[in-house]
Chain A
């Protein structure tokens, strides 16, 4: 059983990365004795969605590409690489947290706290908020979106405080700021005046264990399965699910022909996206389904089996559910807000996120395309999504770090 698990884990790791990088960077890092330290504070959550998913994707890609040069850390302590690698294979921080609590995962202080200097330049990569600053020779942090800055009323106070507490200092102390989309990069420029030269856009990836597609293909029952539309994502006001409700109230025929499935954990400010009374009967009869959080394998099956996914978000730094949908071969009807068109490209159908009528138009359009184009549309979705990989994101970051490393050698 243990051997089977390891084998699946290896396949997972392989599928997350694509060898498409410039070896010169690897040689530079090896020759210079560079170590890339990755902050794992976002990986301690049990259920990885959003930022933890991005942190895990990047960590897996860096680890696969240059394992000898990678260290993980939490606060001011190094963390055992094998234990983090195990968490990445399991796709949860559950056991990582246990190992950290017991102290077994800790592997000594950060190089800056040790008497002996590191053998070469140290780089700190922070996938989100920086728990420590100026602890590495070169620092690099990822900014996912500025929604807590620009749209604080979509968040609870704790969220805003968490992200705003150190944002300015994080950016000021970083040599390189990574954004996951051009939209987020432009936000940093427009609101905080961060110079473009200090930023790099490294779009997120989407990767599934190879077995998921096989399992999904075997489990789906095309004859007899009821068609459904899927809305994937944490439920919070910014995700704008009220627009879906508005659309369904306008189009009872859509609710009759398709079940509507909401998958994702409940977020915050629930009163702002509560189900309207008029749709309660649909929930009671099972036409509207709220699954709550779903595991990755279930998520993949839901994505692969949907007629289309709907993504009405008002503001995104990236829009990972759009990419996940396309990577599963399922077309997405998405709002044209913020970064979403960067992710969805030409394969998505877009709508105005304040117009239920426009959303209905785009939904009918994509359903018609599915009927007309069939498998060809699914293939185009997958082909588009294949451009986004964690390996490519890691490579973009390494390419921009290389000159900073050279300057310190």
Chain B
């Protein structure tokens, strides 16, 4: 459960942000990263941004997640 997911900050008001990861948007807080800005890509864990990362790095993770989703989709199809 220590996994953090990369997401882009698409709205920011005080420490309340809306972030986007692969088209899914959800709320997150930036309390632990006081200097983040709109447009930054952050690692989000349990509703909190914990680190800013480069887009390149985020893309690698997003790609991995997409592969896993496809993988479990195929598995579901096979078993279902």
**Does chain A bind chain B?**
no
Q: Which A residues are within 8 Å of any B CB, using their own CB? A: none
B residues whose Cβ falls under 8 Å from a Cβ of A:
none
